[in-house]
Homo-oligomer: A and B are copies of this chain.
């Protein structure tokens, strides 16, 4: 049925059509004629078609230290189980979202403890995650420190310095792990911020130099309808404005960012494909690898946040596939897609995902 799909997707994925916004999934007559529901009650089979193919998720963030997701209180045993489940789903890369936020840090980093008033951490999460990544043959990316306070003009040099010392310490102490494969620039930025892009530039450059040019990743967000700012009355960025602003930002960080994985949850589902196409175009211009950061939590519900509906995840995975994303990382597996999650909806999402991609 691949020909039919090709025709169908040609129909609905033509950028023009989508930008015009008057053609969507299955809304054209071709689709309807090409795709009969294959539901078969006898076989207890109720999936409709293979219209939605999607691309696989091969990476996840590790959300420690967390910003707005409640903690699961896992120890080594539980994390070991979870890395096993990631592996079984096809995850090859884990990205520690940050090594610290404000006073909370993920390991007793002398470089930070000696310079800032921080809470002394009871666990060395970096050593633990690297050990697990070694065990399961995964790649580990180290997320930098986010002070949460040195962002404004005049102060951000402090953010850079703290991270430079941290990078030195971390590489010396943990660099020997064979799973240590990259750096994550954790400061999330959206609209053009001279400071932040400069921070990216400095930190990224230093991290690459000291580590023999290991790749660096960023995961910005689109200033879309589901950002807190826009929900609070701010105007969302149009696709064109998004392209202009990020063209400038990426110009500022040329050569120090290797992977760009935009968060995919701040725009509406029918808008996503257009933004992804632009992100890919921008990435190609600056020779950056273009991943998608596919959010596995649901932004549309009063409870903020529980696992996303499988249908929504699949829709986004298909949009990403069609837009030519090179890889997909999710935020994040352990709360929202894991059979070990304390949110039981996540285990069901894990099963739906494995069924769809026929992962036994």
**Footprint of B on A, CB under 8 Å?**
21-27, 29, 31-32, 35, 37, 39, 41, 44-49, 51-52, 66, 68-76, 78, 80, 103-104, 107-108, 110, 113-114, 116-125, 127-128, 131, 269-270, 298, 301-311, 314-315, 342-345, 348-349, 351-352, 355
Min CB gap A23→B, angstroms: 7
Cα of A74 to Cα of B121 in the assembled complex, Å = 36
7 tightest Cβ-Cβ pairs between the two chains A and B: A26-B120, A73-B348, A71-B309, A342-B344, A24-B117, A25-B120, A39-B124
Knowing A32-B113, A119-B25 are in contact, say whether A71-B107 is a contact too (CB < 8 A): no
Cα of A66 to Cα of B308 in the assembled complex, Å = 12
Establish whether residues B119 and A301, one from each chain, have CB atoms under 8 Å apart when the complex forms: no
Establish whether residues B121 and A270, one from each chain, have CB atoms under 8 Å apart when the complex forms: no
What does DSSP make chain A's interface, helix, strand, loop or mixed? loop
Task: List B contacts of A344 (CB < 8 A).
Answer: 72, 342, 344
Min CB gap A49→B, angstroms: 7
Task: List B contacts of A25 (CB < 8 A).
Answer: 118-120
20 A-B contacts (beta carbon < 8 Å): A22-B117, A23-B117, A24-B103, A26-B108, A27-B116, A27-B120, A32-B113, A37-B127, A45-B76, A48-B107, A49-B120, A51-B122, A68-B302, A71-B308, A71-B309, A75-B351, A122-B311, A303-B303, A303-B304, A344-B344
Establish whether residues B70 and A307, one from each chain, have CB atoms under 8 Å apart when the complex forms: yes
Establish whether residues A76 and B44, one from each chain, have CB atoms under 8 Å apart when the complex forms: yes
The residue in chain B whose Cβ has the minimal distance to the Cβ of A349 is B73
Min CB gap A84→B, angstroms: 14
Task: List B contacts of A103 (CB < 8 A).
Answer: 24, 269-270
Cα of A118 to Cα of B69 in the assembled complex, Å = 32
Cα of A117 to Cα of B74 in the assembled complex, Å = 44
Cα of A248 to Cα of B73 in the assembled complex, Å = 41
Establish whether residues A70 and B345, one from each chain, have CB atoms under 8 Å apart when the complex forms: yes
Task: List B contacts of A39 (CB < 8 A).
Answer: 123-124, 127-128
The residue in chain B whose Cβ has the minimal distance to the Cβ of A337 is B73
Establish whether residues A315 and B32, one from each chain, have CB atoms under 8 Å apart when the complex forms: no
Min CB gap A67→B, angstroms: 9
Cα of A80 to Cα of B44 in the assembled complex, Å = 10
Task: List B contacts of A76 (CB < 8 A).
Answer: 44-46
Knowing A46-B125, A117-B23 are in contact, say whether A35-B108 is a contact too (CB < 8 A): yes
Cα of A47 to Cα of B309 in the assembled complex, Å = 36
Select one of B45, B113, B269, B351 contacting A31, CB under 8 A: B113
Which residue, A39, A69, A80, has most C-beta atoms of chain B within 10 A? A39
Establish whether residues B23 and A108, one from each chain, have CB atoms under 8 Å apart when the complex forms: no
The residue in chain B whose Cβ has the minimal distance to the Cβ of A301 is B70
The residue in chain B whose Cβ has the minimal distance to the Cβ of A269 is B119
Task: List B contacts of A305 (CB < 8 A).
Answer: 302-303
Task: List B contacts of A343 (CB < 8 A).
Answer: 342
Cα of A68 to Cα of B22 in the assembled complex, Å = 27
Cα of A97 to Cα of B212 in the assembled complex, Å = 58
Given A22-B117, A48-B123, 19 extra CB contacts under 8 A = A21-B117, A26-B120, A27-B117, A37-B108, A46-B76, A47-B122, A48-B121, A52-B120, A52-B122, A70-B298, A70-B307, A71-B310, A72-B344, A72-B348, A73-B307, A73-B349, A73-B352, A302-B304, A303-B305
Cα of A39 to Cα of B116 in the assembled complex, Å = 23
